[in-house]
Chain A
Amino acid sequence: MLTFVVRRLLYSIPVLLIASVLVFFFVRETTDPLARLKGSGNRDLTLIQRETHRLGLDKPLTTQYGRWLKDFVRFKWGDSLVSGRRVSTDIRDKLRNTLQLIFWGIVASAIIAIAIGVYSAVRQYSALDYTFTGLSFVGLSMPPFWFGLIAIQLLIFVPKETFHLQHPLLYSVGIHSATNHGTLDYVRHLILPVATLSVQLVAGWSRYQRASMLDVMSADYIRTARAKGVPRRVVLFKHALRNALIPLTTIMAIDIGSLFGGLIITETIFGWPGMGKLFFDAINNGDTNVLLPWLMVTAGFIVVFNLLADLLYGVLDPRIRLA
């Protein structure tokens, strides 16, 4: 197990190196760090030349890559070209906010998706099963930003106008109110963005869980358990669910890894000060100093969660021996 982890971590070094090459050249090809300066109406060519030299942009691209990589691995990520804040501090703070969103989103999505999946499998072809099937297709095909906007409209503005509330029940901007930092306030800020991010996850995972549960329920060992006289509920939850969770866990771990880069829309709609918003602003401002580490950090998370998926598989399924 330990050898497996160490080997996989070593394998991830070339993966991340390749990622860094791609990230660096694509970002530099598409984004000019001095675009803002040049577009600001500033015609002072010496300033532009000075900046070009200061940032090393007059060197060949490969040399620039080497310098950037050397600084990157030593955690010298530099300052934002726009705000002037240290990039590493910015990313750390935003990552903390995004992690809260992801954590609660995953917990909610997993519980709901597994419950729906198990119900739909056990009561296959029932009215509720068909309802869940229909809803999950709606969820999968509905863009999250649209869901977010509809949710804001229906859950904040409509109740506010109908019941003439002074304050809405839920908030649609930020993590905390300016004056109130209580838990309840936090939860009221959290609900809508978490719901928005969960819609597609629940829709996808519940389909997966349903299929996996149906598969397991027709297995021979389920019949064996029933032949032993084990009560139906125990057969379902101890024998069937335990096995049906194995493939779902893998899918979940991989999905979670990719979530770190996938919250851009949700965070933008709800003004959530997280990684997605940081990325969105960095692209708009051509802030390559933020873009490059951001892309590398998300690549790192994807690698880590893929490794986690493999490890979990080995823990949940004794037939898989990791070595």
Chain B
Amino acid sequence: MADEDLPISPTRPRPPSGRGDLILTVEDLHVSFPAEQGVVKAVDGVSFEVCENEVLGVVGESGSGKTVTALAMLGLLPRTAKLSGSVRFRDQELLNLEEKELRLVRGAEIAMVFQDALAALNPVYKVGSQIGEAIKVHHPEIRRHELRERVVGLLDLVGIPNPADRADQYPHEYSGGMRQRAMIAMAICNDPDVLIADEPTTALDVTIQAQVLEVMERIQDRTSSAIILITHDLGVVAGLADRVLVMYAGRPAELGDVETLFYRSEHPYTLGLLASLPRLDQDEPDVRLHRIKGQPPSLVFVPPGCPFHPRCDFARLPEPCATQIPELRSLDDPSHVAACHFSEEVREKKPEDLRPVVGS
């Protein structure tokens, strides 16, 4: 009986691969903050769906609205934020929920892993008790020894050595990678339907990144949770994600299966990101990495038309790129959409084509 109660039971078979039922739908989400210079449009019309068992990667530069999108889903934004659109979890509209009802969703059905685990764990409570609190808040009837067992089991699951001793230590006594794994343990403790991981590997060195990603993969194998993986690391996305949403200036730039999106990018921004990534397996010594020129735009004064046009190698100025906002559209595959006036042209290019050859 105790085994069935375990949040993650190793014996539970994972449903056959492929997309399961739709569990989370985000539609035309807008988030803005009042600021001194004007209104910051942090998220400006984002829509996507997540199915059971699926890993959706959300990619973009800092300030592209990835984290704000995630926080908006859980109602964790500051009160000054103005939200519109819709976030539907199963049959529940989350944006309309009262704080009291939303509280029951948080941590139980949708859980979140934050990026800087040292700052995201309370320094004055033991790691074990912080994980325990996450369980107890949704299962107040649980007995103490049972709670303890679960906490130790979770720490073990995410690969923390001597989990029983480690549970009684404070966050500052953990190493960076262990803290991140403890964060993951805390997020999965109630077996959530959706796990949002906000840059889980940022600020970790590469070997630790690999360990954390391995934990994420293992979690994904053992549960049917959907994972929303927010990152700016395309390598991480390539390794874990089934589908990818590329965001730019708070708007969706491109959305599609990871393979299609990587090999047949339809948005110049996606292509630029891929071209700026070093490839150990195929880089020629005399080819330099691509660099997307310029800076991400201010979210108060977003460029007119396509927000990417000042940095775009494919832009035709002024018409239409600086005047018309491109809609998301698909070329032949309906599951692959991009917001570019010249997707057809971009699709013909490979990332290598953007790279300057030294000496030329």
Decide whether A and B are members of one complex: yes
> Residues of A with Cβ closer than 8 Å to B?
219-221, 223-232, 234, 239, 242-243, 246, 316-319
A243 to B124, CA, bound (A): 7
Return A315 CB to nearest CB of chain B, in Å. Answer: 11
Does A230 lie within 8 Å of B76, measured CB to CB?
Answer: no
Nearest chain A residue, comparing its CB with the CB of B172: A319
Quick one: which of B103, B124, B137, B183 contacts A318, CB cutoff 8 A? B124
Does A230 lie within 8 Å of B122, measured CB to CB?
Answer: no
Does A226 lie within 8 Å of B172, measured CB to CB?
Answer: no
Does B123 lie within 8 Å of A221, measured CB to CB?
Answer: yes
Q: Which residues of B contact A225 (CB under 8 A)?
A: 122, 133
**7 extra A-B contacts, CB within 8 A, seeds A231-B103, A239-B122, A318-B123:** A227-B74, A227-B106, A228-B107, A231-B137, A234-B137, A243-B122, A316-B124
A224 to B107, CA, bound (A): 10
Q: Which residues of B contact A231 (CB under 8 A)?
A: 103, 137
Does A230 lie within 8 Å of B137, measured CB to CB?
Answer: yes
A318 to B123, CA, bound (A): 7
Quick one: which of B105, B123, B134 contacts A319, CB cutoff 8 A? B123
Return B284 CB to nearest CB of chain A, in Å. Answer: 43
* A220-B114, A223-B76, A319-B172 known; A229 vs B122 contact (CB < 8 Å): no
Interface status of B104 (Cβ within 8 A of chain A): yes
Return A213 CB to nearest CB of chain B, in Å. Answer: 15
* A232-B99, A318-B172, A319-B170 known; A224 vs B133 contact (CB < 8 Å): no
Chain B interfacial residues counted at CB < 8 A: 28
Return A232 CB to nearest CB of chain B, in Å. Answer: 7
Interface residues of B in 96-120 (CB under 8 A from A): 99, 103-108, 111-112, 114, 116, 119-120
Quick one: which of A221, A232, A246, A316 contacts B122, CB cutoff 8 A? A221
Quick one: which of A228, A317, A318, A319 contacts B133, CB cutoff 8 A? A228
Q: Which residues of B contact A232 (CB under 8 A)?
A: 99
Does A317 lie within 8 Å of B123, measured CB to CB?
Answer: yes
Contact digits for B121-146, partner A, Cβ 8 Å, 1 yes 0 no: 11110000000011001100000000
Does B76 lie within 8 Å of A228, measured CB to CB?
Answer: no
Contact digits for B176-205, partner A, Cβ 8 Å, 1 yes 0 no: 000000010010000000000000000000
Q: Which residues of B contact A220 (CB under 8 A)?
A: 114, 116, 119-120
A and B contact pairs by CB, cutoff 8 A, 5 listed:
A220-B120, A223-B76, A226-B76, A229-B105, A231-B137
Q: Which residues of A contact B119 (CB under 8 A)?
A: 219-221
**What 3 pairs across the A-B complex have the smallest Cβ distances?**
A229-B107, A220-B119, A228-B107
Does B120 lie within 8 Å of A224, measured CB to CB?
Answer: yes
Does A243 lie within 8 Å of B107, measured CB to CB?
Answer: no
Q: Which residues of A contact B120 (CB under 8 A)?
A: 220-221, 223-224
Residue of A226, A234, A246 with most chain B CB atoms under a 10 A cut-off: A226
Return B130 CB to nearest CB of chain A, in Å. Answer: 8
Q: Which residues of B contact A219 (CB under 8 A)?
A: 119
A157 to B112, CA, bound (A): 63
Nearest chain A residue, comparing its CB with the CB of B77: A223
Does A228 lie within 8 Å of B123, measured CB to CB?
Answer: no
Q: Which residues of B contact A242 (CB under 8 A)?
A: 124
A246 to B123, CA, bound (A): 12
* A232-B99, A239-B122, A317-B123 known; A227 vs B116 contact (CB < 8 Å): no
Nearest chain B residue, comparing its CB with the CB of A223: B76
* A219-B119, A317-B123, A317-B124 known; A228 vs B114 contact (CB < 8 Å): no
Q: Which residues of B contact A318 (CB under 8 A)?
A: 123-124, 170, 172
Q: Which residues of A contact B99 (CB under 8 A)?
A: 232
Residue of B74, B104, B122, B138 with most chain A CB atoms under a 10 A cut-off: B122
Residue of A225, A229, A230, A246 with most chain B CB atoms under a 10 A cut-off: A229
Return A243 CB to nearest CB of chain B, in Å. Answer: 6
* A229-B107, A230-B133, A319-B170 known; A223 vs B124 contact (CB < 8 Å): no
Quick one: which of B71, B137, B170, B172 contacts A228, CB cutoff 8 A? B137
A221 to B186, CA, bound (A): 13
Q: Which residues of A contact B186 (CB under 8 A)?
A: 224, 228
Quick one: which of B104, B108, B121, B137 contacts A224, CB cutoff 8 A? B121
A316 to B116, CA, bound (A): 23
A164 to B209, CA, bound (A): 80
Q: Which residues of B contact A316 (CB under 8 A)?
A: 124
Nearest chain B residue, comparing its CB with the CB of A216: B122
Nearest chain A residue, comparing its CB with the CB of B103: A229
Quick one: which of A221, A226, A246, A317 contacts B121, CB cutoff 8 A? A221
Does B76 lie within 8 Å of A227, measured CB to CB?
Answer: yes
Nearest chain A residue, comparing its CB with the CB of B115: A220
Nearest chain A residue, comparing its CB with the CB of B99: A232
Residue of A226, A227, A317 with most chain B CB atoms under a 10 A cut-off: A227
* A223-B76, A318-B124, A319-B172 known; A228 vs B116 contact (CB < 8 Å): no
A230 to B99, CA, bound (A): 11
Nearest chain B residue, comparing its CB with the CB of A221: B122
A224 to B111, CA, bound (A): 10
Return B264 CB to nearest CB of chain A, in Å. Answer: 36
Interface residues of B in 161-185 (CB under 8 A from A): 170, 172, 183
Q: Which residues of A contact B108 (CB under 8 A)?
A: 229
Return B106 CB to nearest CB of chain A, in Å. Answer: 4
A78 to B87, CA, bound (A): 81
Interface residues of B in 50-70 (CB under 8 A from A): none
A216 to B116, CA, bound (A): 16
Q: Which residues of A contact B170 (CB under 8 A)?
A: 318-319
Q: Which residues of B contact A317 (CB under 8 A)?
A: 123-124
